[in-house]
């Protein structure tokens, strides 16, 4: 299981990403909103999947978010195998969304602004190892183009005080994690790890990106 770190709540809730220099701009390059309702997917890795999943489940236009594993070589890995750091996988979240309600670029803004800190290399908060790396796994050329362009835009705007280390890589496979990892924040809202590391992300989503916040029913 995760390393439990009991730091004072005020320290972590004051600012989700201390490396942020200010509010993030909207993506200058994006995939336009679809004219009709549909289904699309995006896969992001940003540390422990519990918090990343919870953030995206509360984003406008998102219909589902599933915790799992991507980026490695082992088929259908277990949590224990991924946690060893030997499979190459990162804890990831597959986001299913309606492209007529929210764009891929807007999901990227959520990912960089409140879901994690993209300047932490092979770690996120109290969790360390390549399985906690920051990564965007693109499913097609459009996703790759928009992701690369947004990272470059953030670099040019000096949106972060430290270099962005997010990996942009092709999505080869996504494997859903074990059932007990799904909706973990919803099932364990009072667990100290969740309260300290993940609840502030939801507060930041609501406070900093209200136009994209849509609380889970």
The gap from C-alpha 106 to its chain's centroid, in whole angstroms, comes to: 12
Q: How many angstroms separate the Cα of 141 from the Cα of each of 29, 95, 138, 145, 190?
A: 13, 18, 8, 6, 41
48 carries an active-site annotation: yes
The single residue of 48, 54, 147, 205 carrying the catalytic annotation is 48
Computed from CA positions of residues 154, 68, 130, 7, in that sequence, does the dihedral angle turn out positive or negative? Answer: positive
Helix axes 199-208, 49-57, angle to 10 degrees: 30
Measuring CA to CA, which residue among 87, 45, 88 is closest to residue 68?
45
Residues catalogued as catalytic: 48
């Amino acid at each position: 299981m995760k390393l439990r770190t009991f730091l004072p709540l005020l320290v972590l809730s004051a600012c989700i990403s201390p490396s942020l220099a200010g509010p993030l701009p909207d993506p200058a390059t994006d995939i336009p909103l679809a004219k009709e309702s549909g289904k699309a997917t995006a896969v992001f890795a940003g540390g422990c999947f519990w918090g990343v999943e919870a953030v995206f489940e509360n984003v406008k236009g998102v219909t589902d978010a599933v915790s799992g594993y991507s980026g490695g070589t082992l088929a259908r890995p277990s949590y224990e195998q991924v946690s060893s750091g030997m499979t190459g996988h990162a804890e990831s979240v597959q986001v299913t969304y309606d492209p007529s309600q929210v764009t891929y670029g807007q999901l990227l803004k959520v990912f960089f602004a409140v879901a994690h800190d993209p300047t932490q290399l092979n770690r996120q908060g109290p969790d360390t190892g390549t399985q906690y790396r920051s990564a965007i796994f693109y499913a097609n050329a459009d996703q790759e183009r928009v992701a690369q362009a947004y990272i470059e835009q953030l670099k040019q705007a000096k949106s972060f005080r430290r270099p962005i280390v997010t990996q942009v890589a092709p999505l080869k496979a996504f494997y859903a994690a074990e059932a007990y990892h799904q909706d973990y924040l919803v099932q364990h809202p009072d667990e100290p790890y969740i309260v300290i590391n993940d609840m502030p992300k939801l507060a930041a989503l609501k406070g900093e990106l209200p136009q994209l916040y849509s609380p889970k029913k």
